[in-house]
A and B are shown apart, each in its own frame.
Chain A
Amino acid sequence: MSGSIFGLAPVTFITVMGVPVVIIVLLALWGVTFDSRVVSAEKKKHEVNGGAA
């Protein structure tokens, strides 16, 4: 089959292989931003409580 990737049409190949890759990238972003989100939530809570320790 000409223009195919492992026998799949390029669009199909990109769809079935690309979607998991996109999800992996998004989950990696979740991990990278995790600490900053937790810290900012704690900071916000601290401010709401009037800065009391």
Chain B
Amino acid sequence: MDVQHVLSWVIALAYFAFLIWIGIVASKKIKSFEGYIVAGRDIGFWMFTILVIASCMSGMTILGSSGLGFIGGWPTIWEQIFVPLSCALTILLFGTKLHRVAAKTGYLTLQDYLAHRFESPRLMRGLSGFAVFSVSLIYLVGQYTAVGITLQRVLHMDYSLSVIIGAIIVTFYVFLGGLYAVSWTSLVQGLILIVGVLAVAPIIIFKAGGLTHINETMAAIDPNLIKAAFPQVHPPYAGYSFMTPLYIVSFALLLSLGLASAPHVINNVLAARKNSYFKWSPLAAFAIYVVVFYLIKIVGFAARTMVVDGVIALPEGVANPQDFCLIVAVEHAFGPLVWTFFGMMVLAAVMSTTDRLLLTIGSSFAWDVYRNLFNNKASDESVTRVSRIVVFVSAAISIVLALNPPALLAWLIWMGIGVMLSVFVIPILAGLYWKGATRSGAVWSMVVGLISSFVFGYLGRFVFKLPFHFSFIPFIIALVVMVVVSLMTKPTSSEVIRDTETGFNF
């Protein structure tokens, strides 16, 4: 074992010990189920802002995004705008009102709001609970796979062992410390990531010859790589040239709204201590995230230039070599020792999404299914206990799945975000801002959105290529169904409209 290998283990073990310590300390703060899943609604401004960013920032954010930049150039930069925008929108568009109403009503999950606003304590809760549970589980398998790949690369361990060790650490601190542990670790993980990218990326760009040289090199490969979008032709003239203006519009909806409505992201708004945080938090979240994310993408461009210049080479014999471009660029620019620290940074990004997903699955099942559908008299202790059991069981299921990841895992994850857009965005937006939205409108919008997203997701993947992301059609269908059915059915009671502050006000 060489010095670098030993150092990698020392850093990794110290980091894991720190996470476990946070879990133990956080567990002492938990006195109720509210404490477990919304941290007693006591999260401060910066912890809240970073928690929202960290919930959106996954392994895909770091490795996949630079990899997409490597093959697709500047037209893929829109991903760098829409994902940070989803953080701002989840706080601004959904969070401001949800938090204010939750302070009076005591909502613990998004499903609490939907059940109340649409006067459907069982059907709406059951439908949305099913969607949350299944989509979060798919997402979780993807995150555990990323944990395994990163640990394998950093510690030179067997993949299966990497998945199991990484999963045990995350499950342990979520199991013990709930959202307290998730938010504290997210703050640390988010800061590691921000500082790491700000320190590393400019040096890699400089070592690649600077931004002008990078852009000139990409233009020599394909002039469209340095444009804001690829030409609107269908099918695309190359595998990487799918980011056309029409696709960008569908991508904007998918990421800005679909990700913003993902339960592991939106539920964070219920944990903020004060409503006044919603004043500047959207700006802070977007500004921080967009700078970090732009740098990650430009490092992907820099890596492409370094490959063309013969400075680095991507690994051979792997499924998506472009996703390794960031790792190879860091190793070249700083040597393997810095890669160890950088590897921890990638791991921090992956873990910060994984822990939030685990907690979301646990709380959705324990609160929405166990407590509100099957056992209304369940005590606080038993709901917390069920939540912890579900955290444990869902971790075990996703570890087994991650040991042999499904061949279409990446597609399944994108499918999951598409389902979020088609199922949740319309009922939440209509519920918050349109007094005319009714129970039947919301239920049918969700059902039709769910079914049509599976149909168009399948068709778009296996039957014919669409010139936009498949979720665009189910989203429009769900919108039409919500409006038409709501106009034809019994309006919501004025009492509920008043209590939920429904209307076009912010």
- A interface residues with partner B (beta carbon < 8 Å): 1, 4, 6-9, 11-12, 15-16, 19-20, 23-24, 27-28, 30-31, 34-35, 37-38, 41
Contact = CB atoms under 8 A, between A and B. Distances in A.
A6 B280 CA distance: 32
B485 interface: no
Contact of A30 (B84, B92, B226, B228): B92
Given A16-B74, A30-B283, A6 B211 contact: yes
Contacts of B276: 34
16 contacts: A1-B219, A4-B215, A6-B211, A7-B213, A7-B215, A7-B219, A9-B226, A12-B228, A16-B77, A16-B228, A19-B81, A20-B290, A23-B81, A27-B282, A27-B286, A37-B505
Task: Give the one of A19, A20, A37 with max B CB within 10 A.
Answer: A20
B226 A12 contact: yes
B31 interface: no
A12 B505 contact: no
A31 B280 contact: yes
A34 B74 contact: no
A38 to B, nearest CB: 8
Interface string B218-242: 0100000011100000000000000
A7 B226 contact: yes
A28 B226 contact: no
Contacts of A4: 212, 215
Contacts of A15: 228
A28 to B, nearest CB: 6
A-side binding surface: helix, strand, loop or mixed?
helix
A35 B276 CA distance: 8
A25 to B, nearest CB: 10
Shortest beta-carbon contacts, A-B, top 4: A7-B215, A34-B279, A27-B283, A6-B211
A24 B287 contact: yes
A24 B211 contact: no
Contacts of A23: 81, 85, 88, 286, 290
Given A12-B227, A24-B287, A35 B219 contact: no
Contact of A7 (B77, B214, B280, B506): B214
Given A20-B81, A27-B282, A37 B213 contact: no
A7 B228 contact: no
Given A6-B212, A8-B226, A12-B227, A31 B286 contact: no
A41 B278 CA distance: 16
B216 interface: yes
A8 B137 CA distance: 42
Interface string B69-111: 0000010010001001100100010000000000000000000
A20 B292 CA distance: 13
Residue in B92, B213, B279 whose Cβ sees the most chain A Cβ within 10 Å? B279
Given A7-B226, A12-B228, A37-B506, A30 B282 contact: yes
Given A12-B74, A30-B283, A35-B279, A7 B88 contact: no
A45 B98 CA distance: 18
Nearest to B505: A41
Interface in B193-223: 211-216, 219
B77 A28 contact: no
A34 to B, nearest CB: 4
A11 B450 CA distance: 40
A34 B278 contact: yes
A24 B280 CA distance: 11
A41 B213 CA distance: 53
Nearest to B275: A38
Contacts of A6: 211-212, 215
Nearest to B212: A7
Nearest to A35: B279
Given A12-B74, A16-B74, A19-B81, A7 B290 contact: no
A4 B216 CA distance: 10
A7 B211 contact: yes
B228 A31 contact: no
A27 B87 CA distance: 12
Contacts of A7: 211-216, 219, 226
Contacts of B77: 16
Contacts of A8: 74, 215, 226
Residue among A16, A24, A38, A41 with the highest chain B CB neighbour number at 10 A: A16
A31 B215 contact: no
